[in-house]
A and B are shown apart, each in its own frame.
Chain A
């Protein structure tokens, strides 16, 4: 059957519609509550979508992904607190606009450009996913290993303040992935005679632990009463003609930045938003207004962070390397459904590209509609007492984890992962590389060993694609280190010059 027809046909099912609506409500809510990220919500939802059909489950998870991307703008604009990391850049101009009495306008512009960003990026997904997958299908073991290494190093360079801690977290993830049966020979490794460990450390439990429980524990540890009140005067809602015209250029800049950042493995909306905002300021005729309530700034940041969605999906589905942290969780769920994202997915199931594209587009339209209609009501959500939120999250983490395997051992793993995640967070170790290492570990190990067995170490650098990817991976680790050393040198030099000047002045002072 034609893949387009069968892909769309899979959506004509009342359960899929219910799943879409459920995802919409959940996504909007988690987006709007600061402290619950989309990654955490998708990790939790993966617990109760495992028993669904893949397309139904994808409808829930992808819609949460999309809707959270709209909901998180609301607290950014009204209380200067990003609902999820993806809306960090929204606060730069969104909150100043709200303070000027233009909160309604900021909310509408944000929702409109977020929708446009996602639409633009979905064109990229629909057009590029299959060709990229076809290209990657030609990859041998050395190319696959290099690709995994590249994804991991990008994640490390993005998420770490200290490169050493980032690489250590990644290595810890890869090491954790070796627990269980050897991917090639089937020998037991690090199972210590525990039967539950022979199939490996449960990925979903670790994800719920480090992204869900650890975040919650951190809030329990550090929470204090906050006195910021949401902006209550919302003012005008719809932009006028001049304002629409202002949005054109930053919209284009933001879309391009978002799509490029989205395709880069592990880089998501938070980074894209900041880069998009910065790029739009550089090309703007009114750069001085950025950060003080500029419509251009808001447009650029929100378009860029939303336009990462399609790019991230492309990398995830076509290469099997997660495009951002939400996608890492998604890969875990898909594997449990028996779908292995990666080059062979779209050649085997081209209809899934159509289903995924359609789900993303419908989710975007619904999220946009609900954003334009219900934004006033969402402000009230911010007043829900925090103890309800904490208790519910903790319960859902435990029950959701149990639901994935019906085994209490998984819950224990999840709680341990939560404590480890909290310690990592408090000591400056990023959890992203740990999760990515755990997810990609078997892929990395089996491909490296195969490559070494076939051609020896030279095979890794003799193929042009793998050599290029390994070079990029090295660059991703070394460039930030060099950048930081340079920055430090410049700062020291500047401090020395200043101190020198002060000395000259003070020595001249009394004689003048």
Chain B
């Protein structure tokens, strides 16, 4: 990965209730935009429906110290899960019957990006574990070096100096100045 790369702007959702006729400069270039997908819509609607049903069952199962009936602690979660269930059914119907939603405001994911994301997530989880075992300083320096390597940094300054300095800086900031026990 080139070191001259720059962070690309986060694709921003132009407000749905925005101004008619106003150009939308944050839209992604057409060749990079994510494609609409009916399968994705159906899967998300089904997951939402499943979560609503689970929420409804859990809401009814809430144990109360005193049963008062009516507007009790079960009332609001039950109301919410019923509303969510109705909306999920509507979403599922729309997903099956109507053309899938436009996703042109999102950039398409690429294979390299997916690998980068999964590796970063694994490194982050390992960091949380190592933090408990080896302490903040060692874990953080290793974590930063590993991440920088995954993201394409290769020079010794990037992989050694930057992690060490950043770890030291955050330790002084959090531990020494802000009294957060790390």
Q: Write the residues of chain A forming the contact surface with B, with a CB cutoff of 8 angstroms.
A: 33-37, 48, 51-52, 75, 80-83, 85, 88, 91-92, 95, 157-162, 164-165, 167-168, 171-172, 174-175, 178, 182, 184-185, 187-190, 215, 217-226, 270-271, 274-275, 277-278, 291, 382-392, 394-396, 398-399, 402-403, 406, 408, 411-412, 415, 419, 425-430, 445, 448-449, 452-453, 479-480, 483-484
CB distance from B178 to the nearest CB of A (A): 5
Chain B residue nearest to A174 (CB atoms) is B80
Contact flags B158-182 to A (C-beta < 8 A → 1, else 0)? 1000100010001001100011111
Q: Write the residues of chain B forming the contact surface with A, with a CB cutoff of 8 angstroms.
A: 1-10, 12-19, 21-26, 32, 34, 40-41, 44, 48, 51, 55, 58, 62-66, 71-73, 75-77, 80-81, 83-84, 87-88, 90-91, 94, 101-103, 105-110, 113-114, 116-117, 120-121, 124-125, 127-128, 131-132, 140, 143-144, 147-148, 151-153, 158, 162, 166, 170, 173-174, 178-182
- Let me know if A392 and B18 touch, CB within 8 A: no
Residues of B within 8 A of A453 (CB): 71
25 A-B residue pairs with Cβ-Cβ distance under 8 Å, sorted by A, are A35-B10, A48-B173, A48-B178, A85-B10, A85-B12, A158-B17, A161-B102, A164-B91, A175-B81, A185-B66, A217-B121, A218-B10, A220-B117, A222-B107, A225-B2, A277-B19, A278-B22, A387-B3, A388-B162, A391-B153, A399-B140, A399-B182, A415-B125, A429-B44, A448-B76
CA distance A374 to B109 in the complex (A): 36
Cβ contact of B10, chosen from A37, A48, A225, cutoff 8 A: A37
- Let me know if A408 and B113 touch, CB within 8 A: no
Given contacts A221-B109, A387-B5, 6 further A-B contacts (CB under 8 A): A160-B16, A217-B117, A221-B114, A223-B7, A277-B19, A399-B140
Cβ contact of B116, chosen from A221, A270, A449, cutoff 8 A: A221
CB distance from A67 to the nearest CB of B (A): 18
- Let me know if B151 and A391 touch, CB within 8 A: yes
- Let me know if A220 and B16 touch, CB within 8 A: no
CA distance A448 to B75 in the complex (A): 10
- Let me know if A175 and B8 touch, CB within 8 A: no
Cβ contact of B7, chosen from A48, A389, A428, cutoff 8 A: A389
CA distance A309 to B121 in the complex (A): 35
Cβ contact of A221, chosen from B32, B66, B113, cutoff 8 A: B113
Residues of A within 8 A of B63 (CB): 187-188
Chain B residue nearest to A277 (CB atoms) is B22
CB distance from A246 to the nearest CB of B (A): 21
Residues of B within 8 A of A449 (CB): 71, 75-76
CA distance A388 to B152 in the complex (A): 10
Cβ contact of A480, chosen from B16, B51, B109, cutoff 8 A: B16
Cβ contact of B16, chosen from A157, A217, A223, A278, cutoff 8 A: A157
- Let me know if A224 and B8 touch, CB within 8 A: yes
- Let me know if A222 and B65 touch, CB within 8 A: no
Residues of A within 8 A of B18 (CB): 271, 274-275
CA distance A182 to B109 in the complex (A): 41
- Let me know if A387 and B153 touch, CB within 8 A: yes
CA distance A200 to B144 in the complex (A): 31
CA distance A480 to B19 in the complex (A): 12
Residues of B within 8 A of A484 (CB): 16
Chain A residue nearest to B25 (CB atoms) is A91
- Let me know if A48 and B180 touch, CB within 8 A: yes
Decide yes or no: A219 and B178 within 8 Å by CB, A175-B77, A415-B125 being known contacts: no
Decide yes or no: A224 and B73 within 8 Å by CB, A219-B8, A395-B166 being known contacts: no
Residues of A within 8 A of B64 (CB): 185, 187
- Let me know if A386 and B178 touch, CB within 8 A: no
- Let me know if B90 and A175 touch, CB within 8 A: no
CA distance A445 to B3 in the complex (A): 51
- Let me know if A161 and B6 touch, CB within 8 A: no
Decide yes or no: A428 and B8 within 8 Å by CB, A182-B73, A271-B18, A449-B71 being known contacts: no
- Let me know if B62 and A385 touch, CB within 8 A: no
Chain A residue nearest to B81 (CB atoms) is A175
5 tightest Cβ-Cβ pairs between the two chains A and B:
A387-B151, A222-B107, A34-B9, A182-B73, A35-B7
Chain A residue nearest to B106 (CB atoms) is A426
